[in-house]
Amino acid sequence: MLIDVIHFTPGMSLAGGLVIGIAAAVLVLCNGRIAGISGIIGGLLSWPRNDVGWRIAFLTGLIGAPVVASVLGRSTHVDIEAGWGAILAAGFLVGIGTRYASGCTSGHGVCGLSRGSVRSLAATATFMLAGILTVFVQRHLIGG
């Protein structure tokens, strides 16, 4: 295993994880809602829409945070070595997967595991295994 020590930021990663955990805790304690991104977006796309305000506020913060970081001089640039077709196909497949799993990595991995949900443990293990296998196939069988 090779660690890129120049871009290795455990302190910032820990701080980010703490902020995500606090945001998820505040949302569940104040609104009784789970901070699962697919569920938040799904609620905006379903009918009737009676709880739009908090969903839009949450997504605005999610999208706005990198914008604020870049204004403050923090680098938020990420290189993705894929074309728009592959990105759209991947997003579509992730959307289908979140429907089958009844949630996404944020809902199951952050909120479900912290509540001790066995279903979230199974879903998170599946997400992780799929990611590990994808990286293995890409690096060792396809080449990259």
Q: What string of pLDDT tens digits covers the 144 residues of the chain?
A: 566 777 778 888 899 889 989 988 998 899 888 888 888 888 888 887 778 888 999 899 988 988 888 888 877 677 788 889 999 998 888 888 888 888 888 888 888 888 899 999 999 999 899 889 988 998 888 875
Residue 85's domain spans which residues? 10-143
4 within domain boundaries: no
Which helix (H) or strand (E) segment holds residue 120: the answer is: helix 118-136
CA distance 36 to 28: 11
31 within domain boundaries: yes
Neighbours of 58 (CB within 10 A): 18
- Region at 73 (left for phi over 0; alpha for psi -120 to 50; beta for the rest): left
| Count of structural domains within the chain | 1
83 within domain boundaries: yes
34 within domain boundaries: yes
CA distance 112 to 30: 17
pTM of the model: 0.72
